[in-house]
Amino acid sequence: SANSRLSILTRHLTSASATSSSKAGSHGQNLGWIKMSPEVSGALKCGSPIVALESTIISHGMPYPQNFETAKELEVIVKENGAVPATIAILDGVPCIGLTTEELETLARLGSKARKTASRDIAIVMAGRENGATTVSATMYLASKVGIPVFVTGGIGGVHRHGENTMDISSDLTELGNTPVAVISAGIKSILDIPRTLEYLETQRVTVAAYKTDEFPAFFTQTSGCKAPARVESPEHCARVIDATIRLERKSGILIAVPIPREHAASGSLIELAIQQALQEAREKKIIGNAETPFLLARVNELTGGASLASNIALVKNNASVGAKIAVSLAQLQK
């Protein structure tokens, strides 16, 4: 049955740690090194829909207090659509799946004092008993370890402009190549090289589809000038793609790109101008590596007088609603 397929997948996902931790277990049981909220653990046990949420978007992607408000609202939207939210972060060195409101606030207040944690950084943050805000790559990794197949974010990282020289290519893309989780996002920002990012995703064997459109969206705007490799029409359609991926025992992930709602895309060209200026400043200030994205996000927000933040919040909320519906459809398919 679909359920046994899912438990095979989960066993596969948890087998590596099962050998190293006596507490490690199968579906819905806490791994020794992970702390799971009772809601998430309960939902895993009975196969109820769950949506993973990342935390870099809280700490590094938005200023306080909008980040705290948004983090809470995302969880409400996921619940209203029938799924259990599982915000993922590392607190005092412990990877946590599902945070309390207090923990969300701690992270929101820490801001960039929390370490931006990509998958390669998880061990460093655990060993140093630090607070880590997980990026798409780290959140995918942790979600897959406990068997959560659906993950909602705003935008993923990509191939940076001039990446062919700097080799600055987000590990989000390689994690998508190696981790069977479906990421629901609004595409990628035009601060990145969108055509090269799509090429790289193909090389990484990532299943990419745009939601109800032929074009791959560019985060603040609905269009990027790049055709998406595939199109999906509904949450049910997305769920069937995820279900097929599980049956196929694919080791790579899925990227579902949901365009920003039309009413929030209006300021897109204004934001695009600000992006160009921020990119110029980043080059002048020699801001590189993983400091680049947070710098650009903050600067674009200043330059647009907050318009980019409002758009950002609107699109993540939309993604949360679509993602929760996908998780609900998937749980139904797997009954």
H/E element, 300: helix 292-303
Which of the ranges 13-21, 79-87, 155-163, 248-256 carries the binding residues for ligand PSU, by CB under 6 A? Answer: 155-163
Q: Which of 54, 75, 215, 292 is catalytic?
A: 54
Q: Which of residues 111-170 bind Mn ion (CB under 5 A)?
A: 168
187 touches ligand PSU (CB under 6 A) = no
Q: Contact, 246 vs 267, CB < 8 A?
A: no
Considering only 95, 155, 217, 259, the residue that binds ligand PSU (CB under 6 A) is 155
Q: Which of residues 128-147 bind ligand PSU (CB under 6 A)?
A: 135-136
264 touches ligand PSU (CB under 6 A) = no
Shorter beta-carbon distance to ligand PSU: residue 37 or 56: 56
Q: Contact, 258 vs 211, CB < 8 A?
A: yes
Sign, CA dihedral 106-107-113-119, equals positive
172 touches ligand PSU (CB under 6 A) = yes
Structure tokens at 66: 């909008």
Amino acid identity for residue 201 in this structure: L
Tell me how far apart the alpha carbons of residues 139 and 95 are, in angstroms, rounded to a whole number: 10
Structure tokens at 296: 């650009």
Q: Which of 189, 215, 292, 325 is catalytic?
A: 189
Is 54 catalytic? The answer is yes
Shorter beta-carbon distance to ligand PSU: residue 6 or 77: 77
Is 272 catalytic? The answer is no
Q: Contact, 24 vs 32, CB < 8 A?
A: yes
Shorter beta-carbon distance to ligand PSU: residue 140 or 238: 140
Nearest CA to 301 out of 66, 42, 15, 72 is that of 66
Binding residues (CB under 6 A) for ligand PSU: these are: 54, 56-57, 61, 118, 135-136, 154-157, 170-172, 189, 219, 290, 293, 297
